[in-house]
Chain A
Amino acid sequence: KNEVEQSPQNLTAQEGEFITINCSYSVGISALHWLQQHPGGGIVSLFMLSSGKKKHGRLIATINIQEKHSSLHITASHPRDSAVYICAAAYSGGGADGLTFGKGTHLIIQP
C-alpha cells in the first residue's frame, strides 16, 4: 500500500513563528491535498496541488515531485492556526481508494 508520512507528529510554537509541516509519499501521484481539521473534528481543504507552489493568505504549500515531498508553511502563526494538519496523496491511476492520508500533525500555537 502506498505510504504517506508526515512530520512532525506534534508541534508547539509561539505566536508569530514560521511553521513548516512536511509530507513525504512513496510513489508517483496525481495530486496532493493539504487539509485542516478543527478541534471539533470538521475538515477543511486548504490546498490541492500537483506541482510548484500555492499561496493563500499566510499559508503556503509547495511540492517537489522528484523528491516526492510536500511542505505546508504558515507565516506569522496565530493561536487560531492551532489544528491538526493532514496531507493526503492521490495516486496516479488510483480509484477513490487510491487517496492515502497521513496521520496528521497536531499544531498548537501559544499566545
Chain B
Amino acid sequence: DGGITQSPKYLFRKEGQNVTLSCEQNLNHDAMYWYRQDPGQGLRLIYYSQIVNDFQKGDIAEGYSVSREKKESFPLTVTSAQKNPTAFYLCASNAGRWYAGELFFGEGSRLTVL
C-alpha cells in the first residue's frame, strides 16, 4: 500500500545534539512538507519541497535543515540551534500544488529533549 513512513516514532535527545527524522513516501508525489505541532497550536510549516534538489523555508525554519536528494525521501534535521525542539513532527506529501490535491500525512515523530 502507498503511504508515508516516518521514523523514529519516538526520539529522545540531549541538548546540543543534532537529530535527523526520516520521511519516506512511495506515492510518487512531487511535493513534500514538514510540519511541527505543539499543544494548543495549529500545524506550522518548517520546510517544503516541490521537486527533487529544491526546497524552501516555511514559517519556522530556523534551527532546522532538510535535503531532497531523492523524490521519495525528505529527511529533517533538528539542529542544536533549535531553541525549543521538543514537539511532534509531521511529514506530508501531495501530488502537486497543495491546494489542488489531497494531503497525505505520516504517523509523526515525537521528539523530546532531555
* A→B interface (CB under 8 Å): 4, 29-31, 33, 35, 40-45, 48, 86, 88, 90-91, 94-104
CA of A5 to CA of B66 in the docked complex: distance in angstroms?
30
In contact, B88 and A104 (Cβ under 8 angstroms): no
Instruction: Kindly list 9 other residue pairs between chains A and B, CB separation below 8 angstroms, not including A33-B103, A45-B102, A96-B56.
Output: A31-B99, A31-B100, A41-B108, A42-B105, A48-B103, A88-B103, A95-B56, A101-B42, A101-B44
Q: Which residues of B contact A43 (CB under 8 A)?
A: 90, 92, 105, 108
The answer, yes or no, to whether B43 is at the interface (CB within 8 Å) is: yes
* B→A interface (CB under 8 Å): 31, 33, 40-45, 48, 50, 56, 58-59, 88, 90, 92, 98-108, 110
Q: Which residues of A contact B101 (CB under 8 A)?
A: 48
In contact, A40 and B107 (Cβ under 8 angstroms): yes
In contact, A103 and B107 (Cβ under 8 angstroms): no
Q: A41-B88, A96-B31, A103-B42 are in contact. Are A35 and B103 (CB under 8 A)?
A: yes
In contact, B107 and A41 (Cβ under 8 angstroms): yes
Q: Which residues of A contact B44 (CB under 8 A)?
A: 101
Q: Closest residue to B39 on the A side, CB-wise? A: A103
Contact of A99 among B88, B98, B107 (CB under 8 A): B98
Contact of A101 among B43, B99, B107, B108 (CB under 8 A): B43
Q: Closest residue to B107 on the A side, CB-wise? A: A42
In contact, B50 and A96 (Cβ under 8 angstroms): yes
